[in-house]
Amino acid sequence: CSYRIMSFLRALCVLLSIPLVAFAAPPSVLVCGGSMMNGDHFADSTLDVMRRHYAGCQKVALVLHASLPAERDRMEKRLQEAFAHVRVPAAESLHRHDAAGAKALLASADGIFIGGGETFVLLGELYRTGQLQLIRDRVAAGVPYGGSSAGANVAGLLIGTTNDFPTAEIPSRTALGIFPAVINPHHPAPVTKADFDGRVGKIKIYLQFNPTETVLGLANTSIARLHDGKVTLEAGLGWVYRAGAGRALVPGDQVPELMGKP
């Protein structure tokens, strides 16, 4: 299974000119479509998978670059409450530290979580600070990663269907490459037909121009997880798209399209 994963990622990285992350162990990566907070706790539908994903973690490094600087203290406090609720004793934001201290926190924490906001600002800051490669290295070493909205976008191979305005310059659309898809967060549900049809249409056009890519759409509070060499929709609604094809996912569905041939 691990051989198939590495072969698939290697082929994608060659096609997209993305550096391959060399994993010492199968990575554990959680991506959420967004809006996963319910007050100061994670949304009820996400609690079980968040507990399992971060089980045993003692301190999570919070990466809040995507949010406005004035909002980061408040967001850190909310996430500290939310992680305590899923039995993680400590969570601390990188914005509390200077450049060296932020890297030290990333290097020492046994969990990583990247919040939502502006994807281009987030990716640009990860490049500027050198934190992009450090996060790749930590995930490759077995540290669990979670990201919501913008934090899900940057987990993928590149940022391509972000829904964001390009609010900052970035050196490259190449992202962390720790999750084998391009993520589309905040994907509308079919009950909002006009919004749903509009999003599906945009993704299909994107794939006509980028036919080698696979897009994973995730609705709000929906979670997909790469764990033990498999991608599974753990909560909510999801959709997987390839050029000329697409299908809906329900919780418990595995996504072999992201793992190569079974």
Query: Which pLDDT does position 226 carry in this prediction?
Result: 98
Cα–Cα dist 2/217, whole Å: 24
3-state SS class at 196: helix
For every residue of 35-77, which 3-state class applies, written as one string?
CCEECCEECHHHHHHHHHHCCCCCEEEEECCCCCHHHHHHHHH
Least Cα distance to 172 among 207, 126, 215, 112 occurs for 126
Q: Name the active-site residue from 41, 186, 187, 222.
A: 186
Cα–Cα dist 218/215, whole Å: 10
List pLDDT tens digits, range 146-190.
999 999 999 999 999 999 999 999 999 999 999 999 999 999 999
Annotated catalytic residue 137: no
Which residues fall within 8 angstroms of residue 157, CB to CB, at 6 or more apart? 12, 13, 16, 18, 174, 175, 177, 179, 180, 181, 182, 213
Which single residue is written with the structure tokens 């994963």?
5
Cα–Cα dist 21/9, whole Å: 9
Least Cα distance to 150 among 183, 198, 187 occurs for 183
Per-residue CA distances from 94 to 99, 133, 155, 218 (Å): 9, 16, 18, 27
Query: Which pLDDT does position 25 carry in this prediction?
Result: 64
Q: Name the active-site residue from 67, 93, 149, 222.
A: 149
Annotated catalytic residue 186: yes
Least Cα distance to 162 among 176, 173, 170 occurs for 173
Per-residue CA distances from 22 to 103, 141, 183 (Å): 20, 9, 21
State the pairing for strand pair 145-148/29-32: parallel
Asked whether the beta carbons of 208 and 243 are under 8 A apart, the reply is yes
Annotated catalytic residue 149: yes
Cα–Cα dist 71/221, whole Å: 21
Q: pLDDT below 70 — which residues of the chain? A: 1-25, 260-262
3-state SS class at 81: helix
Q: Name the active-site residue from 41, 93, 164, 222.
A: 164
Query: Which pLDDT does position 26 carry in this prediction?
Result: 79
